[in-house]
Every structure is written in structure tokens, then in C-alpha cells.
Amino acid sequence: MDYSEKISERFWNLPDKGELESHREETFIDDIVQKNHIERELLSRLDGIKTVFDGGAGCGRFSILLAKHGCEVTHFDISQSMIDKAKELAEKEGVLDKITFVKGALEDLSNFKDNLFDMVISFDAPISYTYPNQERVIGELVRICRKRIVISVSSRLGILPYLANPIQKNQFILDENCGDPFVKWCIDNRANAVEAFHFNKDSVRKLWDEGLMGGDYEIAEYEKGGTPWCITYTFMPDELEGILKRLGVKNIKLAGPGAYARTLPNELLVKIMSDSEQRSDFLDFCYRYDSNPFVCGMGKDNLLACGEM
């Protein structure tokens, strides 16, 4: 088993992960924008879709959505705490019988036959956590797909600005008093993060050239019994498009959810999100702007790709 898989398994199986992840759209504005964009893409592509494979399905945000639209969904995730939370939410939504839950890692999809699912989806970058197997994993997702594939991976151009902005997540906090421990940490450590910041051109160039976040430090932390963030491979837009084309995927569309929202300060984002009319108009425009191919690499975290077999 590669270290990426072992580190991901330990990190995502933390007991509180399921509960925390299920509240991200109540906590962070960038999650609202990203998931709204993905939802629009999915709902526009359901014609003729009956079976769906959701790889790295988490708490079921999209498994449940598609089950509510009549699809039979295979919810596949590495985390038992995520699966447990997804089952709880699916039962509340009345679609538990429409979803099959499978625990496993994306590195091994050998139990699934070729062309088994009408649609294959994978969001919030679990593919990027499979380094050095990310291209093989994309190939496996394509292999089991019959009609349409929609995936998101970590965006190299989108993540590079993080290396010059240690307080980037503060921009997207929806409610400072929400009680989320990560929100509290972001607020409490803001001043220290700014004070300690030093722009490191070598780190920026290394990420630009190699596309890899993490490695030796994460492996060492894991070996000491810690739960470091996952080793992450970040993709360039032309790289992802090229991989999909080589695998036979057609009509590829790329997008960068969050590209427009990242240009606004927190105060204005919170004001927009607090007014239902402004929020609706804003999300409409974000979808249009973030779908433009000229900004697809600058999404907040993810690079989204849609295609057909």
C-alpha cells in the first residue's frame, strides 16, 4: 500500500470527520460556491442516467442528491465515519434504499466491471490523494463508466496562491461563531500566520514544476502515529484534459468553481450570502464566470472536468 493511501485512510477515518464534513456548506462560502456549481453540472447531465458510481463520496452530498432524482447510486469511500454519516443523512432524506454503500480506496476498483455505471463522479479531489497513482485511478474511473464522467481534482494554478496567503480560508468563513474547531483555529491564528509569513519562491517554483504538495514530512508524521493532511497531486488544466482525451473521453468541459468568489473580501461574501436574492444571483454568475475556459485553472481548490464516453 502506498503512503498516500495509508495517510488518506487514517486522516479521513478520524471519528469527527463525517460530522464536520456534513456541515461545510453551513460553514464555508467556498464550499457553497463549489457544490452549487457541481450540482448544476450534474442535474444538467442526468438524461439517460440510471446508475451512478460516486468515488470518494464522503457524507453523501451528491449521492443523496442523485438518489433523490431517481438514480441507483454506489457510494464508495475510504472512511467509515463518512459512510456512517452518509447513511444517516440518506435515511433522513428517504433514499437509503437507493444507495449501496461500499468502503474502499480508489486505488482498487477491481471489483467493478467495465462500463458498469451510466455515470461516474468523484468530487473534492480524492483522485489527487492517490499519488503516485492518480493517472491510473482516472483510468479506472473511465473504465467503469458507460456514458458520462464528472470529476474534480486539486488545481495547481488554484492552489499556488495559497503559498502566498496563509489566511486564505478566513476569506470564506460564513459564521465566525459557528463552533467549528477549524473556524476557531483560523480566527485565533490569523495574526500569528500573517506575522510569521515569508514568501518562499523555492516552494512556489517547486509546486509549479512538480505539482506535489506533501511528501517526506507527511510520511514521517504518519510513521510517528500522527494524522497529517493527505499527500496531494495538483493538476494543470491541459494535463487533466490530455489524460481524459487519451482515455477516450469526449466533449470535455473544464471549469474552476470559486474563481470569481476568491476575488471578493469576506465582508462582502458574507453580506451576499445573507440575502437570498443576492445569493441566488451571485451563484448564477459564479457558475457562468467559473465555467469560462480562460479561468478554469483558478478555481478555489478544484479543477472540474465533465466528459462523455
Q: What is the pLDDT of residues 242-269, one digit of tens each?
A: 999 999 999 999 999 999 999 999 999 9
Task: Determine the pLDDT at residue 190.
Answer: 96
Average the pLDDT over 145-171 and give the result: 96
Measuring CA to CA, which residue among 205, 238, 197, 232 is closest to residue 217?
A: 232
Three-state secondary-structure class, residue 251: strand
Q: Would strands 250-255 and 302-308 be described as parallel, antiparallel, or unpaired? A: antiparallel
Query: What would the pLDDT profile of 9-42 be if each residue is shown by its tens digit?
Result: 999 998 888 888 888 888 999 999 999 999 999 9
pTM: 0.95
Task: Determine the pLDDT at residue 1.
Answer: 61
- Tell me the torsion sign for CA atoms 271, 274, 278, 280: positive
Picking from 22-26, 270-274, 287-291, which range would have the lowest pLDDT averaged per residue?
A: 22-26
Average the pLDDT over 204-211 and give the result: 96
Place of cell 479521513: 12
Task: Determine the pLDDT at residue 19.
Answer: 87
194-215 in b/e burial notation, b at 16+ Cβ within 10 A? eeeeeeeeeeeeebeeebbbbe
Q: Which residue has the higher pLDDT, 91 or 300?
A: 91
Alpha helices in 69-176 (DSSP H): 80-92, 134-143, 156-159
